[in-house]
Structure 1
């Protein structure tokens, strides 16, 4: 039996030293349907997302993609190569910014840089890691970023 099949896809605390940069392989083209569904599901009546006539008269000339979904995608895209099966909990998001707008049809890619890591003082076998996630559109423009603090499992003593 292949031992790697039992290993989580995410990285353990020890595999996330400060300075590690992960350029996530998954990309995502965002659509009008994504925007309308997410915006209405979250009860956000902002016409910049839902009213094409209203949005056409703004400086953007078209609807903006909901920034909260951009944030959710930024974190979600990172999960497979960062924390899938190795995360204990998300502890917080800070310094969330959206320096450029996202529009229907943009393709987003994400990279994560580990900026802090330390063993937990109160939880044996776990460690705290802070990553800076950065999201770029298809033109290489930074469209979103945040710092995310997570609690990770340390590598088990047994071979995985």
Structure 2
């Protein structure tokens, strides 16, 4: 994981590969989002989804798994996150989709109140294997500086 000084506005990254399975979509929905269109094709048939689709929260969780795997490739200063802004689910995610992530740094801000740390805001887009955006959001990640 990098430190705050390693980020600059305009930096981009592309990473991740997550294969969405039917069993995982159903398991997540049963536990966390048991709406009919997340539980069966029949339940989705009379909705705008048409067929089984993953919960948006499941899409967010799959994205987090890819992000943590990417961060784990380097040592550094991750301190978690302050939140997420502008979360939008743009297109249904379906079993068989393969997801990936593209990210662009849009703000780097040293903390005024806590020396030795700061925040990085990014614009994150999750795409399926047809290069269609399925989710977009702006996380505000916290990082320590090397000067700690």
- Common fold by TM > 0.5: yes
Unaligned runs of 5+ in 2: none
1:95 counterpart = 2:86: yes
On the 8 A contact 1:117/1:129 being kept in 2, the answer is: yes
- What residue is the counterpart of 2:11 in the other structure? 20
What secondary structure does 2:25 align onto? helix
- What residue is the counterpart of 1:78 in the other structure? 67
Q: Within 2, Cα distance between the matches of 1:15 and 1:80? A: 18
Quote how far apart the aligned CAs of 1:51 are: 2.7
Q: How many residues align?
A: 146
On the 8 A contact 1:11/1:81 being kept in 2, the answer is: no
1:31 counterpart = 2:24: no
- What residue is the counterpart of 1:111 in the other structure? 102
Superposition CA RMSD, Å: 1.8
Between 77-86 and 47-56, report the one with greater CA deviation. Answer: 77-86
On the 8 A contact 1:74/1:133 being kept in 2, the answer is: no
Between Structure 1 and Structure 2, the one with more strand by share is 2
TM-score normalised per structure 1? 0.83
Quote how far apart the aligned CAs of 1:58 are: 2.9
Between 85-94 and 97-106, report the one with greater CA deviation. Answer: 85-94
Q: Within 1, Cα distance between the matches of 2:126 and 2:137? A: 9
